[in-house]
Amino acid sequence: MAVLIDADTRVICQGLTGRQASYHMERAIAYGTQVVGGVVPGKGGRRHLGLPVYDSVAEAVEATGANASAAFVPPPNAAEAMIEAIEAEVPLVVCVTERVPVLDMVRVRAALEGGKTRLIGPNSQGIITPGACKIGVMPAHHDRAGRIGIASRSASLSSEVVEQTTAERLGQSTSIGIGGDPVHGMDFVDCLELFLADPETAGVVLVGEIGGTAEQAAAEFIKAERPRKPVVAYVAGLHAPAERRMGHAGTLNVMGGGGAMEKIEALRAAGAHVATSPAQIGATMRQVLTR
């Protein structure tokens, strides 16, 4: 079983005619994802990648029955694209755009309040349910259908965990890249709630990194809920210097609370199984499930 997406998910792409969108959506189609159209204002009525293009998200949803959107829109316009999809009540929006202005994301978060949309990203690798649906920019050659749910702030480590859980013959139920920008949509707690409620997800991997307090919030949730399913966590950036951005906009440890060690300690104290090396995440999950 999967969370959020499956073989029946119908996807539109905002910004479909752009170079990056064309590249990745063509691969999503080849993977088997039901991509049903695109949205590019001013280009409605055209076709691209064999798909109809619409002027607005609302028009695309009405015409195609889409229930998910992939937003490939440059940072200055990304917030408007996300808000348009939220106002059209698209159940799931995946935004891959990196470094959307923080004040713009404050407006997006306000639009999400009380609505029907779940937002993954921005600065997200995307979401994949092996063999069924892929929305985003992640590679898919190592994924295998299985029973481990993955939520990760890091795109590269997400791919590493997918490869490791496949090698350990555990596979993945769904892998979610929650995004690396400082203000984003779904967080670790949202993902944990979904995976813990999914009867076919046997364990959850969380991949965190320096910056923010998402890992501490996850630790508080684990401590309060005491889940029967094991949670394996890894936090990158243990030796990263303070007040220096490492990689992307969200990996910045300033003003306390964002360091790797305090995140590790919080997760371990809450009952998560903390892998000491990124190379040991899959093996750690296998050991915990065996016990």
CB atoms near residue 279 (< 10 Å):
11
Residues 203-214 have pLDDT tens digits of 999 999 998 899
Higher pLDDT, 1 or 91: 91
Confidence of residue 38 (pLDDT cuts 50, 70, 90): very high
User: How far, in Å, are 62, 65, 96, 119, 155 from residue 177 at the CA level?
Assistant: 28, 25, 10, 11, 7
Least confident of 5-9, 53-57, 186-190, 287-291: 287-291
Higher pLDDT, 287 or 180: 287
DSSP count for the chain of H helices, then E strands:
9, 14
Is residue 129 included in any domain, yes or no? no
Q: Are residues 147 and 286 in the same domain?
A: yes
Task: Give residue for tokens 């004040």.
Answer: 103
Confidence of residue 28 (pLDDT cuts 50, 70, 90): very high
Is residue 3 included in any domain, yes or no? no
Domain count, the chain: 2
Give the catalytic positions in this structure: 248
Q: Is 251 helix (H, G, I), strand (E, B) or coil?
A: coil
Q: Are residues 199 and 262 in the same domain?
A: yes
Share of the chain above pLDDT 70, in %: 93
pTM of the model: 0.94
Domain, as residue range, for 107: 10-120
Is residue 125 included in any domain, yes or no? no
What whole-number distance in Å separates Cα of residue 182 and Cα of residue 212?
Answer: 7
Higher pLDDT, 241 or 183: 183
Q: Are residues 115 and 256 in the same domain?
A: no
Q: What is the pLDDT of residue 259?
A: 86
Q: Are residues 213 and 254 in the same domain?
A: yes
Q: Are residues 173 and 246 in the same domain?
A: yes
Confidence of residue 255 (pLDDT cuts 50, 70, 90): very low
Q: What is the pLDDT of residue 157?
A: 95
Q: Are residues 107 and 174 in the same domain?
A: no
Hey, what amino acid is at 250?
A: G
What whole-number distance in Å separates Cα of residue 272 and Cα of residue 74?
Answer: 37
Q: What is the pLDDT of residue 249?
A: 47
Rg, Å, the chain Cα set: 18
Least confident of 115-129, 181-195, 250-264, 270-284: 250-264
Q: What is the pLDDT of residue 254?
A: 43
Q: Are residues 193 and 104 in the same domain?
A: no
Q: Are residues 146 and 205 in the same domain?
A: yes
